Amino acid sequence: MAAARRVVVTGLGIVSPVGVGIKHAWQTLVEGGSGIRSLVAERPGAGYDQLPSQVAGIVPRSSSQELGTFDTKALLMPGDANRMAGFTQYAMCAAQEALADAGWTAPTDEQRERTGVCFGTGIGSLDDITANHDQFRAGGLRKISPMFVPKILCNMAAGNIGIRYGFYGPNHAVSTACTTGAHAIGDATRFIQYGDADVMLAGASECSLQPLALAGFSKIKALALGFNDRPQQASRPFDKDRAGFVIGEGSGALVLEELEHAKARGAPIYAEVRGYGLSGDGFHITAPPADGAGAQRAMRSAIRSARISTAEISYINAHATSTPLGDQIENSAIKSVFAPAGNLSPADLPAVSSTKSATGHLLGAAGAVEAIFTVLAIKNNIAPPTLNLDSIDAESGFDLNYVPHKAQQRTINAALTNSFGFGGTNASLIFAKL
Q: Which residues are catalytic?
A: 178
Q: CA 396 to CA 222: how far, in whole Å?
A: 20
Contact 220, 260 (CB under 8 A): no
Pairing of the two strands 171-172 and 115-120: parallel
Residue type, 125: S
Pairing of the two strands 19-20 and 171-172: unpaired
DSSP assignment string, 119-185: EE-SS--HHHHHHHHHHHHHH-GGGS-TTHHHHH-TTHHHHHHHHHHT--S-EE----GGGHHHHHH
Q: Which residues contact 138 (CB under 8 A, 6 or more apart)?
A: none
Q: How far is CA 165 from the centre of its chain?
A: 23
Q: Angle at the Cα of 255 (from 93 to 368), degrees rounded to 5?
A: 70
Question: In 348-409, where does DSSP find H-type helix?
Answer: 356-359, 366-380
Contact 370, 405 (CB under 8 A): no
* Among 195, 371, 157, 353, residue whose Cα is nearest residue 276: 371
* Among 247, 250, 301, 249, residue whose Cα is nearest residue 274: 301
Positions of E strands within 249-407: 250-258, 271-280, 315-317, 351-353, 382-383
- Residue 148 CB: number of other CB atoms within 10 A? 17
Strand partners, 420: 426
